[in-house]
Amino acid sequence: DGGITQSPKYLFRKEGQNVTLSCEQNLNHDAMYWYRQDPGQGLRLIYYSQIVNDFQKGDIAEGYSVSREKKESFPLTVTSAQKNPTAFYLCASSISRAMRQPQHFGDGTRLSIL
Amino acid sequence: AQSVTQLGSHVSVSEGALVLLRCNYSSSVPPYLFWYVQYPNQGLQLLLKYTSAATLVKGINGFEAEFKKSETSFHLTKPSAHMSDAAEYFCAVSDPTSGTYKYIFGTGTRLKVLA
């Protein structure tokens, strides 16, 4: 079945450490997104990518970085510059720039500080 | 800028009662609208979507929503709540004219179903 796979499901970060969250999709979707979810705040957009080798900052990009070298993959790195990284991270994809199509979501990665 | 407001961060209903979750959007043109459901420690699943066809949209699990342009609303309803409906629900909007290719989400409504 087609879908989005996020790994790992749980991740722990030490002070000063960069960590990378994986997101892979086999839906042949052009667009991919990363969101951060905190209790009571809904989903906040970190980065998004419409095509390979191109991505844009979302609303809370500081302290994060991404790459889009392959259509299927959109990894997110949480850098040491992100001082409050504890959150639930969701990756999503959509079929194209036709914004009438919904997003498909992975099952998320929960990041915590050690 | 496009925005979405979900009234009520927590809603409780009795099993078998009507479920009504509210969503209002701000946009000068009708956007595309979506409702998603999220169970604990999982991603979001699409319940239904409005893309400028019929104003009454039927989704999965017995949910439906009505697009009302005059009220800029897209409220989610279900005639009879089931225990399995307990989850968090998100309303989202996309604006095809904005050129930003972003989806905007509300802050969510957590539904509790009482036995």
As a whole number of angstroms, the distance between CA A101 and CA B56 comes to: 17
Facing A42 at nearest CB: one of B49, B102, B107: B107
**pLDDT reported for residue B82:** 97
> Rounded to the nearest 10 degrees, how much is the dihedral formed by the CA atoms of B95, B101, B107, B111?
80
Q: Please name which of A95, A97, A53, A101 lies closest in space to residue A74, comparing C-alpha atoms.
A: A53
Chain B neighbors of A3, CB-CB under 8 A: none
pLDDT digits (tens, 9 = 90+) for A89-98: 999 999 876 6
**How many angstroms separate the CA of residue A43 from the nearest CA in chain B?**
6
Residue A57 has pLDDT above 80, yes or no: yes
Name the helix (H) or strand (E) containing A54.
strand A54-57
The values of phi and psi at residue B63, to 5°, are -85, 150
Chain A neighbors of B51, CB-CB under 8 A: 100
pLDDT digits (tens, 9 = 90+) for B70-79: 999 999 999 9
Tell me if A99 and B105 make a contact (CB, 8 A cut-off).
no
Q: pLDDT band at B16, cuts 50/70/90?
A: very high
Q: pLDDT band at B62, cuts 50/70/90?
A: very high
SS3 content of chain B, % helix, strand, coil (to 5): 10, 50, 40
